Chain A
Amino acid sequence: MQPFWTFTGVLNDIISTMFNRKFMEELFKPQELYSKKALRTVYERLAHASIMKLNQASMDKLYDLMTMAFKYQVLLCPRPKDVLLVTFNHLDTIKGFIQDSPTILQQVDETFRQLTEIYGGLSAGEFQLIRQTLLIFFQDLHIRVSMFLKDKVQNNNGRFVLPVSGPVPWGTEVPGLIRMFNNKGEEVKRIEFKHGGNYVPAPKEGSFELYGDRVLKLGTNMYSVNRPVETHMSGSSKNLASRTQESIAPNPLAKEELNFLARLMGGMEIKKPSGPEPGFRLNLFTTDEEEEQAALTRPEELSYEVINIQATQDQQRSEELARIMGEFEIMEQPRLSTSKGDDLLAMMDEL
């Protein structure tokens, strides 16, 4: 019997929503670093851009996994400019999933072109600022990921391993040499010193072209080897008091942030299926009971709040949002289960 949904279909829906021209246009506008709440809201919307649904617990787990994987990639970038190479690795892998869809392929290539245009010419100093700013977003997140623990890239305290061996970044010399020069710039003395690491020269520079050997492995598919993935809540952050306090941030319903979200959401075009299809629910735990249990026992500090758009005080703002939300095509479907994750969608349906 032919299944009514396919993984290809789900991937296509999510990827084409993510790379939608209007959505990308909004993303590329100069803006401040997203708040955690804003990013989580957008992410949840994207994750539901197909007939696949997730309960709150699975959604939280997926988001944790994405966050820690991305933190790992940004932290371990040998040079700040490598964040762009990591992004290109992401795009290359995504293109591998949608080989048979020329329209979506074109959208991704267009994004590639935009990335090159905007970021290709930035200086090392500008990339360093970008990387430092991204690291602020990930500060104090120490959720343990099974795959990372198994591969020994993460310690049991949730911190990532920073190896002191391997190739140095492109443009850096292997440490250990001191050269001294006279007034004419001629080398007059050379000394070696013991630097403590075990480094080797960089083999070659990764390519920033549309197609090319990126050299860097960060950002390539973590699942190319088949294995289970779990995240651990217990012992995730000993010093919970040190967690970045969002409470000192201004009201998350601040005008600018709502504007930004409205524009981003407006840029997402969710496809309506051709006939009545029941959705399917993705559970990232081994059983439904485990998923329910995870939702109940998730530590307070690690619960994500999705922005409650309906709760805005600003009358004009909510009218504008209502109009934009109305432009979405939300699928009619029987609900398999109600949970917090569905509430946002339900609200939008009722607008």
Chain B
Amino acid sequence: MFRWERSIPLRGSAAALCNNLSVLQLPARNLTYFGVVHGPSAQLLSAAPEGVPLAQRQLHAKEGAGVSPPLITQVHWCVLPFRVLLVLTSHRGIQMYESNGYTMVYWHALDSGDASPVQAVFARGIAASGHFICVGTWSGRVLVFDIPAKGPNIVLSEELAGHQTPITDIATEPAQGQDCVADMVTADDSGLLCVWRSGPEFTLLTRIPGFGVPCPSVQLWQGIIAAGYGNGQVHLYEAATGNLHVQINAHARAICALDLAPEVGKLLSAGEDTFVHIWKLSRSPESGYIEVEHCHGECVSDTQLCGARFCDSSGSSFAVTGYDLAEIRRFSSV
């Protein structure tokens, strides 16, 4: 059972994007950072336990040519071995900041060279993999940036080809230490998933085809890929083989966000149907096949959700954002 906790007010309502909430837990400092995209600006705020808001700051996409200010597509904290960077993707390019959002350390302008006039050009999909940060683009290319332990000397080290349609989301997990283990999944607007092994060069291991709907959100946990689709389904695949093992008719509208609590294998799904669901992932002791159990469902009345995150690694609390909603709604288990 979850109860609705005190909401955190936002200066600007959340935009109707997918994966529109990023949470950075800083238990040592008794703080949590939240990041939400409003449209042409993104809002960062810090909160104490109990959701008491402390400080907040707005970031904008770097200006460029065009009639209106560029729209931000996503904001996300990347936890690397020696530092945490905040990454902001927009219709112009990629901005990286120190974790509190005060110092911009890197700017990458998107190359719209091949785009036809009808095509939107943007970056979207952000994840940290070891000492790399991977960012997706409108063309399907995934840019891999090599991040030093400190300082602004960030270098674009690789461009991954594997997708033909705009990237929606990227998921990573720490390498399990064995050979040939997948530790990154990229998803796109056609629903295609690409499974990668990271390294000085990234290797494409498997491709899992789509079925006509976008895959806006993807997660990876202990070799299990959880993918949320535009038709409301959540699929669980074996990363090593690409086989589909679980199909959940989870939501009545498109799924907008997935999140994982890695300590306990809990999966959070949020949809445009106003619902949030929590699932428990596991493996059958006999067959080793992926299994799932529904734990909890919550309806956020009249709110088309656009972001959802666990607020602690044991999955006992979570937060959501919704289109047009000028607050972050928080829930914790009783």
Q: A242 touching B245 by the CB < 8 A rule?
A: no
Judge whether A171 is part of the interface by a CB distance below 8 angstroms.
yes
Given the known inter-chain contacts A125-B190, A172-B232, A178-B292, please indicate yes or no for A197 contacting B252, CB distance below 8 A: yes
Judge whether B12 is part of the interface by a CB distance below 8 angstroms.
yes
B-contact bits for A304-338, CB 8 A (1 contact / 0 none): 00000000000000000000000000000000000
Given the known inter-chain contacts A124-B214, A193-B294, A248-B40, please indicate yes or no for A139 contacting B324, CB distance below 8 A: yes
A191 to chain B, nearest CB (A): 8
Residues from chain A with a CB closer than 8 A to the CB of B165 are 123, 125
- Complex Cα distance, B303 from A181, in Å, reads 34
Judge whether A267 is part of the interface by a CB distance below 8 angstroms.
no
Q: B10 touching A242 by the CB < 8 A rule?
A: yes
Given the known inter-chain contacts A173-B231, A181-B244, please indicate yes or no for A30 contacting B117, CB distance below 8 A: yes
- Complex Cα distance, B248 from A174, in Å, reads 10
Interface residues of A in 122-162 (CB under 8 A from B): 123-126, 128-129, 131-133, 135-136, 139-140, 142, 155, 159-162
- Complex Cα distance, B41 from A250, in Å, reads 14
The number of inter-chain residue pairs (CB within 8 angstroms) is 185
Residues from chain B with a CB closer than 8 A to the CB of A195 are 250-252, 275, 277, 297
B90 to chain A, nearest CB (A): 13
Given the known inter-chain contacts A155-B302, A175-B250, please indicate yes or no for A242 contacting B289, CB distance below 8 A: no
Residues from chain B with a CB closer than 8 A to the CB of A75 are 304, 323
Q: A180 touching B249 by the CB < 8 A rule?
A: no
What's the tally of chain B residues with a CB closer than 8 Å to chain A?
A: 69
- Complex Cα distance, B68 from A257, in Å, reads 9
A-contact bits for B293-334, CB 8 A (1 contact / 0 none): 110011101111000000000000000000110100000000
Interface residues of B in 96-121 (CB under 8 A from A): 117-118, 120
Residues from chain B with a CB closer than 8 A to the CB of A161 are 302
Q: A35 touching B67 by the CB < 8 A rule?
A: yes
Q: B11 touching A242 by the CB < 8 A rule?
A: yes
- Complex Cα distance, B291 from A125, in Å, reads 29
Judge whether A345 is part of the interface by a CB distance below 8 angstroms.
no
Judge whether B253 is part of the interface by a CB distance below 8 angstroms.
yes
Q: A242 touching B12 by the CB < 8 A rule?
A: yes
B191 to chain A, nearest CB (A): 8
- Complex Cα distance, B214 from A80, in Å, reads 11
Given the known inter-chain contacts A175-B252, A195-B275, please indicate yes or no for A124 contacting B212, CB distance below 8 A: yes
Judge whether A279 is part of the interface by a CB distance below 8 angstroms.
no
Q: With CB as the reference atom, state the residue of chain A lying closest to B16.
A: A135
A278 to chain B, nearest CB (A): 39
Q: With CB as the reference atom, state the residue of chain A lying closest to B287.
A: A182
Given the known inter-chain contacts A164-B274, A179-B247, A195-B297, please indicate yes or no for A171 contacting B15, CB distance below 8 A: no
Residues from chain B with a CB closer than 8 A to the CB of A183 are 241, 243, 289
Q: A249 touching B69 by the CB < 8 A rule?
A: yes
Q: B246 touching A179 by the CB < 8 A rule?
A: yes
Interface residues of B in 52-95 (CB under 8 A from A): 60, 63, 66-69, 71
- Complex Cα distance, B101 from A165, in Å, reads 42
Judge whether B228 is part of the interface by a CB distance below 8 angstroms.
no
- Complex Cα distance, B67 from A30, in Å, reads 13
Q: With CB as the reference atom, state the residue of chain B lying closest to A155.
A: B302
- Complex Cα distance, B69 from A244, in Å, reads 12
B41 to chain A, nearest CB (A): 8
A270 to chain B, nearest CB (A): 26
Given the known inter-chain contacts A139-B15, A175-B251, please indicate yes or no for A164 contacting B189, CB distance below 8 A: no
Known: A124-B212, A125-B189. 16 other contacts (CB 8 A): A80-B230, A123-B165, A128-B214, A128-B230, A135-B15, A139-B324, A142-B324, A161-B302, A172-B253, A173-B233, A178-B247, A182-B245, A188-B289, A195-B251, A242-B326, A256-B66
* A contact set with B: CB distance below 8 Å: 30, 32-33, 35, 75, 78-80, 123-126, 128-129, 131-133, 135-136, 139-140, 142, 155, 159-162, 164, 168-169, 171-183, 185, 188-189, 191, 193-197, 199, 239, 241-242, 244, 248-250, 254, 256-257, 260
Enumerate the 6 nearest inter-chain pairs by beta-carbon distance, A residue then B residue, closest first: A125-B189, A193-B294, A135-B16, A173-B249, A125-B214, A242-B326
* B contact set with A: CB distance below 8 Å: 10-13, 15-17, 38-41, 60, 63, 66-69, 71, 117-118, 120, 165-166, 168, 188-190, 212-214, 216, 230-233, 241, 243-254, 273-275, 277, 287, 289-294, 297-299, 301-304, 323-324, 326
